[in-house]
Amino acid sequence: MIFAVLIPSAVLIMIYILFLRKKEWDNLILKILGLILFSAFLIQLRKNLAIDRTVALEGGPISQLMTVVIVMIRWLTGVVVLVGITAPFFTNNKSFKNIMRFITPFVLILNFLFFYSNNLAFFGEKSLFYTEYRFYAIVVEYVVLTLMSAIYLTRLVRRIDPLPNKREVGTMFLVFVLLLPTMMPEASLRILFGDLGSIANDFTVIHRLTIYFSFLIMPLIYIYMKNESYENRRLLFIVLSLSSVFQFLYIRREGLAGWPFHLCNTALFLMLISFVFNIKSTFYFSYFVNVLGALVAIILPNITSDAFNMDSVGFWYNHIYAFILPILAVALKVYPRPQFKMMRGAIIIFTIYLVSMMFVNAWFNNYTSVDYFFLYSDFLTEKFPFMIDIKINNILYFTNNGLIFKFFWLYDLLIYIAFIFLMFITWAVYDFLFRVADIHGALRVKLKKDKMDILSLRKEMKGRPLTEPLNLEGVHMIKIENFTKIYGNSRNPAVENFNLEVYDGEVFGFIGHNGAGKSTTIKSLVGIQSITGGRMEIGGYDISKQPIEAKLRIGYVSDNHAVYERLTGREYINYVADLYLVSQEDRDERIEKYVHMFNLENAIDNEIKSYSHGMKQKIVVIASLIHNPKVWILDEPLTGLDPVSSYQIKECMREHANNGNIVFFSSHVIEVVEKVCDRIAIISHGKLQGIYELKNLRKQGISLEELYMQHVAREQNG
């Protein structure tokens, strides 16, 4: 009988070697063989094995030990068949090709050594071997696997494929082990161990463990596959969806009740079609509808047999696959994230499905008992007793050709409404998880970038501590070099090739019209937004490469003075002081000084929401000075202030600069800049127009307003 396999295999191998060994023929031949293998395996699944009805400890068509051996062989054979079907269509996957080269021959040898016992396990009696069409499907399976293995080995001999290294061999074995759960014979648990003695429902221990597994397997697969190529990720889903169909077909279902019309059973075939042919409509139907249906089935399983029984194992295989595959396919970006508008299409298809199942149930129940989507039996009413009266008291029926068509119309309608409601809840959960994933993804990218930045900074520092300034020559200045900022996909820079140096002891004014680029430059300088090009330094610290050290030396007053209004003024200032690690003694001294300077004694312990605009601005100013920053940066600090408040802030700016610090502020009020500043820079349309010393302008009799208008006129004529 073994010659029925070996002779055809040898003949086909010789034909291949002599006539078809051209490289360009390999892929086509392997694909054809893969399709033949798929067909042969499907034929085998038409009936259960004889040993599926036995328990090894109780004996069967073969001995106890041989029963265990054959179960293991059938298990391994299922995995190599799964690999053989898919490997020809994913030629870049080395692990699958190596499995066909090195593991498949070993599995085939086991099948040949135990050929007689294997067939007894299939058919039960020797006399049935030649009368069973499945026997010939098994022979075809062996022949095809032998030929495929030979072709892959020949490709090594012909040096079309390189010899695998140790790492690739190790990966091959790991992949094979990981594939084992996908093709476990559903009868194997009961054959090997007998009954467990527990049913996996009603939240028993085994039921809870199965629920936990259903949720935990997803992150494990995601972590393992997230860095794989798109082709390998797609291969994963084709393998799993193909396995899910094989596992569904493993159990022989007789009659009308065996048709795959249950939602999750239909999902298995839809997912295989979706992944093989990349059909989005069927995939997103599974994503919105079948995942929910599978989750409900996992939580409320329709199981009455022992947990190790073949029917129970098949139930869990089917529903776990239907639950995890659509979610993982989106998580691993095999399919893009769905849009909410796709929900409409899913609802339409679900509506068609449910109405169809109402008619199918009403029709088929004239011949046998069927219950697709639990619309006909008492399964749901047993779980939710309040629905019993609704079901039995609202029946619509008619007869046709002696057949009775009965519809529990209100009961079915309530199931439909509840399911649609749960679909929207599911979408909300999806949307939340998408946002969480985006946040974590952005965090991972930032952490990776920060790590690379630190490595780059260490290299630039050449052994110096990272807390020292990168540029030792710039410790007494603000230095902006070739700064450019472009927002989003805009083609026009908001600021372009901007250069500036500001030194200790200066009050430096930054003027320009609204939209000229002042706030853009300042927000990049204080680290609020990224720098497109160039560099910025605060006291020698690079704001991009040493952001924390640079920001510790900055006091910043923004143009919108956003504060926590439910805090008191004192609480807010202390909060900022905590961020900058200011000692209690220093903060108390400075709070007292500035509260007195800005006349806030009667308001400092009131909630900020009770403050006027000017008082809020003063609190922001005090908070920005609480750590005595080396560089004080203010963006339009005097806008909307009364004359007294403006005078106080200007005096504070002058005092801070006189203490050897830098004050850098922007304004479009030229009179204020002219009175307060030592030097100024004019910016227009994102470009530096000039840097001027105020004392030189006074000597030349040129007013700042006149100079600024000259630049504006030049730009307009430009």
Task: Dump pLDDT digits (tens) for 436-447.
Answer: 878 888 888 888
Predicted pLDDT at 718: 55
Average of per-residue pLDDT across 220-248 = 93
Q: Pairing between strand 507-511 and 396-400?
A: unpaired
Average of per-residue pLDDT across 580-597 = 92
pLDDT digits (tens, 9 = 90+) for 533-547: 999 999 999 998 999
Rounded-to-integer distance, Cα 132 and Cα 125, Å: 11
CA atoms within 13 A on the CB side of 69: 16
Predicted pLDDT at 413: 93
| Per-residue pLDDT band at 308 (split at 50, 70, 90) | very high
Q: Pairing between strand 679-684 and 507-511?
A: parallel
What residue type is assigned to position 261 of the chain?
F
What mean pLDDT, rounded, does the chain reach?
Answer: 87
Written as one string, the DSSP assignment of 550-611 is HHTTEEEE-SS----TTSBHHHHHHHHHHHTT--HHHHHHHHHHHHHHTT-TTTTTSBGGG-
| Per-residue pLDDT band at 10 (split at 50, 70, 90) | low
**Which of 268, 261, 257, 259 lies closest to 290, judged by CA?**
268
Report the 10 Å Cβ neighbour count for 718: 6
Highest mean pLDDT range out of 4-8, 125-129, 698-702? Answer: 698-702
Judged by average pLDDT, the poorest of 35-39, 449-453, 524-528, 572-576 is 449-453
Predicted pLDDT at 168: 93
CB 71 within 8 A of CB 191: yes
Query: What is the C-alpha end-to-end distance of the chain, expressed in Å?
Result: 95
Rounded-to-integer distance, Cα 83 and Cα 247, Å: 15
In the 8-state DSSP scheme, what is residue 55?
B
Average of per-residue pLDDT across 618-630 = 92
Asked if residue 651 has pLDDT above 80, the reply is yes
CB 172 within 8 A of CB 39: no
How much of the chain, in percent, has pLDDT values that exceed 90?
Answer: 42
Backbone dihedral region of 482: left (phi > 0), alpha (psi from -120 to 50 degrees) or beta?
A: left
Rounded-to-integer distance, Cα 478 and Cα 188, Å: 74
Average of per-residue pLDDT across 127-146 = 80
List all residues 6 or more positions away from 684 whose beta carbon is below 8 Å from its beta carbon.
Answer: 512, 513, 516, 711, 712, 715
Asked if residue 125 has pLDDT above 90, the reply is no
pLDDT digits (tens, 9 = 90+) for 461-497: 888 898 899 999 989 999 999 999 999 888 889 999 9
Rounded-to-integer distance, Cα 255 and Cα 681, Å: 87
pTM of the predicted structure, to 2 decimals: 0.69
pLDDT greater at residue 71 or residue 706? 71
Average of per-residue pLDDT across 396-408 = 88
Q: Pairing between strand 403-407 and 396-400?
A: antiparallel
Predicted pLDDT at 571: 95
Predicted pLDDT at 119: 81
pLDDT greater at residue 39 or residue 674? 39
pLDDT greater at residue 233 or residue 674? 233
Q: 314 to each of 186, 191, 650, how far by Cα in Å?
A: 6, 14, 79
Predicted pLDDT at 18: 46
Full set of structural domains in the chain with CATH: 1-194 (no CATH), 472-717 (3.40.50.300)
Rounded-to-integer distance, Cα 68 and Cα 51, Å: 10
Which tokens in the block code for residue 127?
């006399």
**Which of 577, 576, 625 lies closest to 597, judged by CA?**
625
Average of per-residue pLDDT across 644-649 = 84
Rounded-to-integer distance, Cα 653 and Cα 677, Å: 9
CB 13 within 8 A of CB 147: yes
Rounded-to-integer distance, Cα 673 and Cα 195, Å: 89
How much of the chain, in percent, has pLDDT values that exceed 70?
Answer: 94
Predicted pLDDT at 321: 94
Strand partners, 503: 477
| Per-residue pLDDT band at 667 (split at 50, 70, 90) | confident
pLDDT greater at residue 378 or residue 306? 306
